């Protein structure tokens, strides 16, 4: 939680502060705009404050060890925060997005190197899903201890991180006016940044639960109608006199004139592991500020949005990020797709982006963001693979380091993932894609990554609506059944061999069950020890009533995997109840409904016939006297 607690900038320029109360040198130069010169190069200076969670690399839990890192990092660029589990970085003053990217990367690399030596990791995200037991540890300053005493739960649960973008505005009246004018577009910026789906070990159901936690503070959100710098200062003074806050740094509005440096400061956005997302936000926010300054100078009235509608738009962005709809502000309160809302904002800002030389880069970064999806969605996909929150933390650690990257912005898209290589991949081999996948790849290429992400969202919504979930022992909530929309292709020649072996295994397992519940020859011959059978939790006395009649295992679930050489292996066998078939049937229907563009082989066996096949198997296995 960056709150700017001193009265001097940390370094030369419009960004930064010292969290430990030191007074630092004033800027040697004046990089800020002059409001009277009319120069379109005004508002060029930019900077970013990033907050990082500190996690233990062994447990993946949030830990109060930021002080160990800060002791070894330069105080001019790294500071403490309310909680001892957070480290903040402050970039130098920059004028280009390339400079911002280099600064962000430099500071992250410095923090990662120090953290590695301490067995720690840093995570740039709104929240991390795991934390150590016990109350969080507050940084031991009188100010922070007073905040903990005064705000109690709000301070204790402030385990969140944001990214603040600054744009230099030397006139405070103008800075105040701009904060009001940019409000309608803040939800889009929040949606681009969403990276906090997990809270206190649970999926919150939101893409940015950090936004909800942040909004609990009495001075967060929309500042209301503030007309001038004097009016803003009067508001701050009134809040201090009310004893709701103790100093101007506790003004936590979504966007504000900075408390101590001459900038407009964007505060609504989550921290994000992907540096390119922060660069994109910086470019868009600077363009927004430049546009609204020009409109103000031209006497154009502010585009107002009713506060409840704006609050609804922020909630919607926090709820679904880039994977759902956003409100079409300021045009209307109607929902539109996130891609449409983001695309409109970028297109509307083209003149300002071209003026700063950012148009091509921001356009490419926007495409990159929409195709890749939000950090929140990537975290959920990481969790769904194995149901482990530790996997989510690992993803965030890797992305913060820069190890997990999509195509570099500005680089041409490879025609067939030419730069991708994985020794065990079933689709892309050394000679290129397998011929059996050619029709599927063509359909997916035509669809595009962004649309495929939306279809994944549609899949999840359909599963929730139909209750396609399963339970895990020890968890109160259910999980959606994992379904990959991209089908796995088993060539006909492989299937002929597999089919013979799978039938043989199913019959062998059924024969084993008949023997275990009858003569137990397998025990007498020494193949299986008797204690293995007797201690099995699935052994039931009623199973012996059936004797050797009929088939016992009407449903067999066999998990198949391939090795790096392309050979097939059985991972495990499951003798399942018929509900397993229900998932298979529903998954086939779901995939064909959500992704109808995928080609369907003419001789594909229809899944809808499965219940009839199961019925015939059950009837054949039933005793003659059974109804």
Return the percentage of the chain with pLDDT > 90, whole number.
42
28-68 tens-digit pLDDT: 233 332 333 334 444 689 999 999 999 999 899 999 999 99
For residue 570, what are the β-bridge partners?
A: 560
What local confidence, expressed as pLDDT, does residue 461 receive? 84
Q: Which of 231-240, 280-289, 387-396, 616-625 has the highest mean pLDDT?
A: 280-289
27-39 tens-digit pLDDT: 223 333 233 333 4
What local confidence, expressed as pLDDT, does residue 121 receive? 94
pLDDT over 70 (residue 515): yes
Per the prediction, the chain carries an average pLDDT of: 83
Q: How far apart are the C-alpha atoms of 270 and 281, rounded to whole Å?
A: 11
How many other CB atoms are there within 10 angstroms of residue 229's CB atom?
Answer: 16
**Encoding tokens for residue 462?**
């359909």
What local confidence, expressed as pLDDT, does residue 316 receive? 96
Q: Omega before 330 cis (within 30°)?
A: yes
What local confidence, expressed as pLDDT, does residue 459 receive? 87
192-227 tens-digit pLDDT: 999 999 998 889 999 999 999 988 888 888 888 888
Question: E strand or H helix at 337, and its extent?
Answer: strand 335-337
144-171 tens-digit pLDDT: 777 877 778 777 778 899 999 999 988 8
pLDDT over 70 (residue 557): yes
430 neighbors 136 (Cβ within 8 angstroms): no
DSSP codes joined into one string, 116-171? HHTTEEEE-SS--S-B-SSPPPBPSSHHHHHHHHHHTHHHHT----BEEEEEE---
What local confidence, expressed as pLDDT, does residue 39 receive? 42
pTM, two decimals, is: 0.69
What local confidence, expressed as pLDDT, does residue 24 receive? 27
617 neighbors 554 (Cβ within 8 angstroms): yes
Give the residue among 374, 360, 348 at the shortest CA–CA distance from 450.
374
Q: How far apart are the C-alpha atoms of 164 and 253, rounded to whole Å?
A: 12
466 pLDDT band, cuts 50/70/90, is: confident
Could you write out the three-class secondary structure of 262-286? Answer: CEEEECCCECCCCHHHHHHHHHHHH
12 neighbors 93 (Cβ within 8 angstroms): yes
Mean pLDDT across 244-252: 81
Q: How far apart are the C-alpha atoms of 581 and 586, rounded to whole Å?
A: 9
pLDDT over 60 (residue 597): yes
DSSP H helix total and E strand total for the chain: 22, 19
pLDDT over 60 (residue 5): no
pLDDT over 70 (residue 416): no
- What domains are defined for the chain? 46-376 (3.30.590.20), 492-621 (no CATH)
What local confidence, expressed as pLDDT, does residue 548 receive? 64
The one-character DSSP state at 208 is B
């Amino acid at each position: 939680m960056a709150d700017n607690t001193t009265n001097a900038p940390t370094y030369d320029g419009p960004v930064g502060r010292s969290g430990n109360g030191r007074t630092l040198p004033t800027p040697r130069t004046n990089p800020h705009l002059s409001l009277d010169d009319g120069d379109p190069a005004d508002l060029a200076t930019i900077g970013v404050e990033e907050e990082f969670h500190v996690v233990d690399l062994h447990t993946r839990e949030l830990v109060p060890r930021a002080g160990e890192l800060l002791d070894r990092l330069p105080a001019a660029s790294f500071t403490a925060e309310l909680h001892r589990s957070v480290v903040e970085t402050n970039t130098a003053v920059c004028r280009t997005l390339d400079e911002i990217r280099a600064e962000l990367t430099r500071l992250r690399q410095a923090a990662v190197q120090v953290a590695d030596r301490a067995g720690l990791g840093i995570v740039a995200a709104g929240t991390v899903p795991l934390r150590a037991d016990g109350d969080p540890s507050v940084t031991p300053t009188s100010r922070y201890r007073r905040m903990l005493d005064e705000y109690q739960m709000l301070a204790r649960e402030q385990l969140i991180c944001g990214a603040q973008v600054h744009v230099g505005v030397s006139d405070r009246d103008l800075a105040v006016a701009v904060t009001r004018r940019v409000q309608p577009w803040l939800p889009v910026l929040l949606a681009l940044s969403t990276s906090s789906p997990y809270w206190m070990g649970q999926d919150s159901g939101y893409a940015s639960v950090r936004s909800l936690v942040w909004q609990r503070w009495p001075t967060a959100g929309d500042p209301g109608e503030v007309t001038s710098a004097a009016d803003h200062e009067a508001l701050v003074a009134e809040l201090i006199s009310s004893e709701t806050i103790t100093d101007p740094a506790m003004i936590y509005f979504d966007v504000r004139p900075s408390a101590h440096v001459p900038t407009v400061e964007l505060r609504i956005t989550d921290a994000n592991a992907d540096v390119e997302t922060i660069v994109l936000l910086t470019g868009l926010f600077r363009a927004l500020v430049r546009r609204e300054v020009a409109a103000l100078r031209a006497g154009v009235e502010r585009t107002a949005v009713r506060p409840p509608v704006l609050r609804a738009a922020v909630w919607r962005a926090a709820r679904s990020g880039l994977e759902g709809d956003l409100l079409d502000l300021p045009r209307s309160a109607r929902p539109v797709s996130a891609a449409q809302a983001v695309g409109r904002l970028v297109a509307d800002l083209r003149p300002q982006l071209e003026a700063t030389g950012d148009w091509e880069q921001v356009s490419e970064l926007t495409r990159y963001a929409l195709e890749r999806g939000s950090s929140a969605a990537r975290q959920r996909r990481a969790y769904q693979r194995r149901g482990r929150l530790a996997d989510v933390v690992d993803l965030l650690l890797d992305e913060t380091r820069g190890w997990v990257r999509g195509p570099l912005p500005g680089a041409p898209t490879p025609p067939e993932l030419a730069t991708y290589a994985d020794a065990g991949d079933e689709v892309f081999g050394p000679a290129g894609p397998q011929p059996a996948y050619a029709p599927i790849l063509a359909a997916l290429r035509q669809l595009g990554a962004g649309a495929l992400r939306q279809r994944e969202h549609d899949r999840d919504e359909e599963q929730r609506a139909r209750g396609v979930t399963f339970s895990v022992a020890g968890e109160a909530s259910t999980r959606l059944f994992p379904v990959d929309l991209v089908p796995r292709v088993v060539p006909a020649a492989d299937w002929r061999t597999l089919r013979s072996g799978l039938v043989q295994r199913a019959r062998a397992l059924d024969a084993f069950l008949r023997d275990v519940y009858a003569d137990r020859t397998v025990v007498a011959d020494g193949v299986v020890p008797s204690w293995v059978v007797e201690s099995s939790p699935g052994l039931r006395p009623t199973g012996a009533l059936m004797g050797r009649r009929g088939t016992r295992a009407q449903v067999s679930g066999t998990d198949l995997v391939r090795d790096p050489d392309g050979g097939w292996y059985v991972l495990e066998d499951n003798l399942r109840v018929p509900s397993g078939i229900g998932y298979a049937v529903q998954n086939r229907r779901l995939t064909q409904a959500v992704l109808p563009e995928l080609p369907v082989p003419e001789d594909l066996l229809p899944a809808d016939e499965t219940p009839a096949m199961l019925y015939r198997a059950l009837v054949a296995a039933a005793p003659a006297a059974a109804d």
